[in-house]
Amino acid sequence: MKLEINIVDAFADEVFRGNSAAVIITESWLSDELMQSIAMENNLSETAYLVLDDAGIYHIRWFSPMTEIDFCGHATLAAAHIIFQKNPSVTFIKFSAKAVDVLTVTKTDTGKIQMEFPNRKPEKFDDIPDDLLTGLSIAPVDVYRNEQAYFVIYNSEADVLEVKRDNEALKQLAPLDVVVTCQTNSDEYKEYDFISRYFWPANGGDEDPVTGSIHTGLAPFWAERLGKSQLKAYQASQRGGVLDCVVVEDRVLVSGNAAQYLTGFITIGE
């Protein structure tokens, strides 16, 4: 069996930036075991699998090297990039995913890909787990939480950029991950409204390069604090990535660019 595979750097203008995702489109679902094995072999943050139904909706599932993920923004962007590339006349896609129902994705006039996600604004969380406190080298100013992660709020970019993590401690927070974030306050990051970093040893790896899904919580959090609905974000990993966010009531629009790195084939069973 041969499977076409595409690897795309999401939330990036060029390759070797942003977050890499693999995209595999099949006529019917592969077995869960095979999808997990391929994701493990790819060893990327996520591998996205898609199956197109008779109504024109792409059903999508995401796998990290460790487990199936409920919701992944950067791999959705990567998948949309491949579909738009294969179908130049298409500018609008519907994805269906179990955890977030139907996702709509649009290719904008600027060439960016805009994804419409549910608003998952975090809530203040006072009962801070000891493993979160011991898992980060810098104590939080505040902690919030949604269904995906703990949101650790810092006052300075230096704290976000310099905080060190203890993966063994953070693994104990499973199934939740950890995002650290602050409002920008320096000339270096003045074009952005906030920055963040995302740690996910419980579900996929050490630090995720760019995480589209967590911005469904970060964007409404900072929109409320900053009093604005349109925000520009930077995820400050080693590879880095830029995300444009718009908060509209119960929805969050997350936009970004993508750059294709590889097209090839996986050969299985031969």
- Hey, CA dihedral for 241, 247, 253, 255, is it positive or negative? negative
Say if 2-118+255-267 and 123-248 have the same CATH topology.
yes
Residues composing the chain = 270
First to last CA, the chain: 7
> What residue segments make up the domains of the chain, in order of their start?
2-118+255-267, 123-248
CA distances to 22, 219, 257 from 10, in Å: 10, 18, 6
Whole-number Cα distances in Å, 202 to 74, 75, 125, 163, 215? 19, 19, 20, 18, 19
Q: Tens of pLDDT along 230-245?
A: 999 999 999 999 999 9
pLDDT at 61: 97
Tell which CATH classification among 3.30.420.40, 3.40.50.800, 3.10.310.10, 3.20.20.450 matches the domain 2-118+255-267: 3.10.310.10
pLDDT at 270: 57
Q: 4, 41, 46, 162: which is the annotated catalytic residue?
A: 46
Query: What residues of the chain score a pLDDT lower than 70?
Result: 204, 270
Return d(Cα 132, Cα 137) in angstroms, integer.
10
CATH number of 123-248: 3.10.310.10
Active site (annotated) includes residue 147: no
pTM for the full predicted model: 0.92
DSSP string for residues in 240-259: -EEEEEEEETTEEEEEE-EE
